[in-house]
């Protein structure tokens, strides 16, 4: 019975806590008042641990609370309750979007969005690379202005050539590692 209770309590959180894991915190405080599974002090620790560990905070808090209440099966029940609303919404949206899949206007819009998204990602990658391993402040201002469009063009070209068999996420990681080592030597 505790597993069903965990499932439905976290199902409510999944349905009504819009805005990510932090929006679930008031629900968790309410849950701490109504059930003996964890205390307010434990909830504060749960939030701290969830902030430190990688991954979505809501899932980590559901896992922790479920484990405190009923061990590993409780964790599974809590997480399943939390993700069920999102999964159902995604399935419904997929069915709606599938009906537009063959529409030529939708296809053309997605075709046009690909380079724009690639450029945005490339610009962010360039900015992060500039902050993490390259110091463009030492170079003349014109060089930085000329390099950004060139790097964006290269990223776009590589993205458009992504249908090549040698081009894979593994290849990108290896090339990025080589670039990182080269700039750090």
Write out pLDDT tens, residues 55-114: 788 899 899 899 999 999 999 999 999 999 999 999 998 888 787 777 888 777 777 777
Q: How confident is the model at residue 2 (pLDDT cuts 50, 70, 90)?
A: very high
- Give yes or no: residues 58 and 88 share one domain: yes
Classified as helix, coil or strand, 17 is coil
Determine the Cα–Cα distance for residues 20 and 86; give it in Å rounded to an integer: 12
- Give yes or no: residues 58 and 130 share one domain: no
In contact, 14 and 83? CB cutoff 8 Å: yes
Total domains, the chain: 2
- Give yes or no: residues 83 and 115 share one domain: no
Q: How many CB atoms lie within 10 A of CB 31?
A: 21
Q: How confident is the model at residue 161 (pLDDT cuts 50, 70, 90)?
A: low
For residue 9, pLDDT over 90 is answered with yes
89: closest CA among 27, 15, 139? Answer: 15
Structural domain including 113 reads 104-184
In contact, 2 and 74? CB cutoff 8 Å: yes
What is the average per-residue pLDDT within 139-160? 57
132: closest CA among 86, 183, 168? Answer: 183
């Amino acid at each position: 019975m505790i597993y069903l209770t965990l499932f439905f309590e976290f199902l409510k959180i999944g349905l009504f806590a819009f805005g990510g894991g932090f929006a679930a915190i008031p629900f968790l405080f309410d849950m701490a008042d109504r059930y003996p599974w964890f205390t307010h002090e434990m909830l504060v620790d749960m939030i701290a641990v969830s902030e430190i560990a990688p991954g979505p905070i809501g899932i980590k808090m559901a896992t922790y609370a479920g484990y405190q209440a009923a061990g590993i099966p409780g964790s599974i029940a809590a997480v399943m309750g939390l993700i069920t609303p999102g999964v159902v919404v995604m399935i419904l949206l997929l069915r709606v979007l599938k009906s537009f899949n063959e529409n030529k206007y939708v296809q053309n819009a997605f075709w046009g969005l690909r380079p724009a998204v690639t450029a945005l990602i490339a610009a962010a990658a360039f900015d992060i690379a500039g902050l993490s391993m390259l110091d463009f402040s030492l170079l003349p201002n014109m060089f930085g202005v000329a390099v950004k469009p060139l790097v964006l063009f290269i990223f776009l070209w590589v993205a458009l050539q992504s249908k090549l068999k040698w081009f894979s996420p593994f290849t990108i990681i290896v090339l990025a590692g080589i670039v990182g080592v080269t700039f750090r030597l």
